[in-house]
Structure 1
Amino acid sequence: MAWEVGSWILMGIFIIIVGWIRFYKMKKIMIKTSSTATANIPRGSSGWPWIGETLHFIVSAYTTRPVTFMDKRKSLYGKVFKTHILGRAVIVSTDPEVNKVVLLNQDNIFIPYYPKSVIELLGKSSILQLNGTVHRRLHALIAGFFRSPHLKARITTHIEDSVKLTLSTWETKPTVYVQQETKKITFEVLVRVLMGLGPSEDLNFLKREYAEFIKGLICLPIKFPGTRLYKSLQAKERMLKMLRRIIEERKIGLQQKIDDKGMANDAVDILLGDIGDESNEIHQRLPLDFISDNIIEMMIPGEDSVPMVMTLAVKFLSDNPLALSRLVEENMDLKKHKARSCDDYSWNDYMSLPFTQNVINETLRMANIINAVWRKAQRDVEIKGYLIPKGWCVLASLSSVHMDEENYENPYQFHPWRWEKKGGNFNSNITFTPFGGGQRLCPGLELSRLEISIFLHHLVTTYIWVAKKDDIVNFPTVKMKQKLPITIKPIYPLR
């Protein structure tokens, strides 16, 4: 843990230096806008010179209630306020209606804005950084593939096999670390979906290098040899070398597959086969380096977000016996039905389990894996009477909306039954945005739900468990302090 403490001390020094420079830039922006629209800029505080309110922001993120920073300022200034954090002037929104406008971004007023380490690591051709036509095209290709009946028909079996194989190894372990085990499942599934890679040396290589790569996602943006960012960039280069080889080999056989009217098996097939729209300027095949970079980026949910939702679902269920009992009952009923009918499980079988979906919704709401969306205004824009000046960053706080008593009664209580009242159309609910929204709605949201549903089904129908005490860490990303250790006991097979 010493390296983590040292790293955050260095980051604090870096933020002070950058903040000192940007503090004066923000003052210039304030002077430019004050003559015409100062009254409309949200109220708030710029905090201390140079560092702004960064320390308060980070300290709050380390607590059990990381939205405390937002809540305190919301009580002082309202649901939309200004601050100065991480070296930038920021407009923070905890208003679901303002967040919706930012997410939908219908007039392309906002562009993505991320920490410099993210930009350095993912590259400018990353789907996170892209904007406009190319982004829409890439997003549509991937989302269409993830929703395709062809994928749904076979990926369910692949996920089941991966879950069952992993769970089968738990019985001999005195302690199971859920966060660690779920990463094995989700990473293997996503790599298969993205590039058709099954168990192999290449997969093991990717696992090792990706674990090194992901450590640099939020770090000091310094690329000297030995720094965290440098090590992560080196890991990325090693992965790119392997991916280019695989994609080059796939490209050779692509034309034969097209001639034979073969179906795309994975995301690489989809991206290699796309030639764009002849009616516009992007009528061209996607470059191989572009494909390689974005395949690496699309692996992030398999290493980070989806396994954390699985892990936190286990934690929340462990702390709520009534919810766990109801989940077991629903999934045991499905298992008995399948045993009698001798039918295979389908995508719809898992996705139509109502209480299971309620548990997933409630976990997503409380987990807040994607706790905020960062954007930058390309021009002055007014939303609900608030002025967001050109060049200012907007932080749409999704977690603040999820944990607001106006939107959810007793928001810090894990209560899956609340979703029975809200109905099943959760994707159109502006107070529930765990997958983002608008043009940047996560293309793999249905696949993620399926993975979590399959994992929960086979877990609660295979084992009973006792979770050891563990705490949630919310900064810089959500994780369990001890990887959520549990002890398990198998359930006897159904007769």
Structure 2
Amino acid sequence: MELFQASGLTCLLIPTAFFVTFVLLLLRASGRRGRRLPPGNLGLPVIGETLQLIAAYKTENPEPFIDDRVRRFGAVFATHVFGEPTVFSADPETNRFILQNEGKLFECSYPRSLCNLLGKHSLLLMKGSLHKRMHSLTMSFGNSSIIRDHLLVDIDRLIRLNLESWSDRVLLMEEAKKITFELTLKQLMSFDPCDWTESLRKEYVLVIEGFFSVPLPIFSTTYRRAIKARTKVAEALSLVVRQRRKQCEAGARKKDMLGALLDGGGGSGFSDEQIVDFLVALLVAGYETTSTIMTLAVKFLTETPRALAQLKEEHDKIRAGKYPCEGLDWNDYKSMPFTQCVINETLRVANIIGGVFRRAMTDVNVKGYTIPKGWKVFASFRAVHLDQDHFKEARTFNPWRWQSNSGSTTPGNIFTPFGGGPRLCPGYELARVEISVFLHHLVTRFSWEPAEEDKLVFFPTTRTQKRYPIYVRRHDASGQCI
């Protein structure tokens, strides 16, 4: 009897499924007739082309998903991924249009799983006047004068302190992350490295892993572990915030980011929860992205000996005019033109921030097409940076393309490693300084060679857990290996 009941239920479900699919396809078709949507393929109902996107990003080269569709449909195309219709843009003009119209035609839109890990008050997820206020505050702590007068000395000191512990075999990615985490904690809350900061960093590692897992606690132990780690991080930071608030009330103030947040950032005060979420997001930003660029810069230089030799020559010249243990100053930083070429090219090829998601707040006309209200848009920086029309031999690491005498000009909407518009990364100058100082001490104090093959690091978007091990040899003050 149960068998017959099951068969009857199956007979009922099959035609129902076909009917629902037919209705969805019909609605999709009628919507297209009413508006000139960007060309593309929305794929299967509900699933869309999500599986194709995921499959592409599991390869060594995650570009086929965009490359194939650009060839078929053009630089602006429609698809359906992660449960929502989405317009992808590989066009620099369209990307600029999206970035510049933040809060007018488009608004920030990220998955709920990201909100769970970062917190609803993180800078990435803020909107409107609060975002403008927080973004301005963050920019004020990362501008050139603040870095020159206050931050550079600590950046130089902490990087040298970390490199002192290196010997023989080094897991470069892990060491770079340790450096950037300690630098960020110092800049945000005035903490020097200690047992507490290292304990906090270990919890952060678990939080970061949650960004690249299935965001379902029931099915993913990684995501479940990340949520628990995020709770521990928030509790630890909440304790710091409460202690610092009491100190401020007693008249003891520090000139760091936390101090500015406790003062209200020039406006009405922030709650402890808002401050904690803000700090969590800034720690993630400083920890993950800058350390990856450091690691990949070393990898690309190792694979391009001529570039490494020229970089070393530039930094040896700076070091020759200084005492052995003397730190770098702002003039030294401004005397690193080829270093900036290396950083630019690493940013362009690696694309740590591959693009940004936004949501259309109203029907938007772009390139003769209509992006319907509520649709997601994805401005792909990676697709532009790796486009042969914009950069010759675009997938080859060539830092000389950035030299001023090369005749190469790059409009602002072509090279956007730090985004743009109202959400331009507020720490872009600080990141450049940290990477420059790191490369200076690395090339003037060490020689190295890769410990093993590590191809997938070339595209960090594949989220490989490779750590890029290298064998290092320390130099003495004269530059000789010891």
Q: Calculate the TM-score normalised by the size of structure 2.
A: 0.88
Identity, % of aligned positions: 37
Deviation digits for residues 461-493 of structure 1 (CA, Å, limit 9, x no counterpart): 011111132122588845555311111122232
Does 1:60 pair with 2:56?
Answer: yes
Letter of the structure 1 residue corresponding to residue 180 of structure 2: T
SS of 2:255's equivalent?
coil
Deviation digits for residues 268-293 of structure 1 (CA, Å, limit 9, x no counterpart): 1111112655xxxxxx2011110011
Does 1:115 pair with 2:99?
Answer: no
Deviation digits for residues 381-434 of structure 1 (CA, Å, limit 9, x no counterpart): 012222111111101111000000011000111100000148999996211111
What residue ranges of structure 2 are gaps of 5+ in the alignment? Answer: 1-17
Residue of structure 1 equivalent to 2:68? 72
The structural deviation recorded for 1:344 is: 4.5
Deviation digits for residues 289-315 of structure 1 (CA, Å, limit 9, x no counterpart): 100111011111333111100000011
Deviation digits for residues 192-246 of structure 1 (CA, Å, limit 9, x no counterpart): 1111111223212211211112111233232349733332222111121121111
Residue of structure 1 equivalent to 2:329? 346
From 214, 224, 243, give the equivalent of 1:220: 214
Mapping 1:77-156, distance limit 5 Å: 77-106=73-102, 108-147=104-143, 149-156=145-152
Q: Calculate the TM-score normalised by the size of structure 1.
A: 0.86
Does 1:312 pair with 2:296?
Answer: yes
Q: Check whether the contact 2:24–2:45 (CA below 8 A) recurs between aligned residues.
A: no
Letter of the structure 1 residue corresponding to residue 116 of structure 2: E
Q: Check whether the contact 2:120–2:277 (CA below 8 A) recurs between aligned residues.
A: no
Residue of structure 1 equivalent to 2:420? 437
Does 1:303 pair with 2:299?
Answer: no
Q: Check whether the contact 1:121–1:229 (CA below 8 A) recurs between aligned residues.
A: no
SS of 2:403's equivalent?
helix
CA–CA distance in structure 2, aligned partners of residues 223 and 426 of structure 1: 48
Mapping 1:251-270, distance limit 5 Å: 251-255=245-249, 257=251, 264-270=254-260
Q: Check whether the contact 2:207–2:227 (CA below 8 A) recurs between aligned residues.
A: yes
Deviation digits for residues 348-402 of structure 1 (CA, Å, limit 9, x no counterpart): 4224410000000000001110001111111110122221111111011110000
Deviation digits for residues 17-40 of structure 1 (CA, Å, limit 9, x no counterpart): xxx9x9999868746744542xx3
Which structure has the larger Rg over C-alpha atoms?
Answer: 2
Deviation digits for residues 39-72 of structure 1 (CA, Å, limit 9, x no counterpart): x311011123443222221222223322221111
Q: 1:116 to 1:463 in 2, by over 3 A?
A: same
CA–CA distance in structure 2, aligned partners of residues 489 and 427 of structure 1: 38
Q: 1:450 to 1:255 in 2, by over 3 A?
A: same
The structural deviation recorded for 1:84 is: 1.4
SS of 2:390's equivalent?
coil
The alignment's C-alpha RMSD in Å is 2.8
Residue of structure 2 equivalent to 1:194? 188
What residue ranges of structure 1 are gaps of 5+ in the alignment? Answer: 1-19, 278-283
CA–CA distance in structure 1, aligned partners of residues 369 and 231 of structure 2: 44
CA–CA distance in structure 2, aligned partners of residues 203 and 327 of structure 1: 33
The structural deviation recorded for 1:114 is: 1.6
SS of 2:77's equivalent?
strand
CA–CA distance in structure 2, aligned partners of residues 120 and 441 of structure 1: 23
Does 1:289 pair with 2:287?
Answer: no
Larger CA deviation: 372-381 vs 237-246:
237-246
Q: Once superposed, which parts of structure 1, at least 4 consecutive aligned residues long, lie more than 6 Å away?
A: 22-26, 422-428
Q: Check whether the contact 1:373–1:396 (CA below 8 A) recurs between aligned residues.
A: yes
CA–CA distance in structure 1, aligned partners of residues 97 and 38 of structure 2: 16
Q: Check whether the contact 2:59–2:462 (CA below 8 A) recurs between aligned residues.
A: no
The structural deviation recorded for 1:250 is: 1.0
Q: 1:481 to 1:287 in 2, by over 3 A?
A: closer
From 152, 157, 163, give the equivalent of 1:161: 157
Residue of structure 2 equivalent to 1:44? 40
Q: 1:142 to 1:27 in 2, by over 3 A?
A: farther
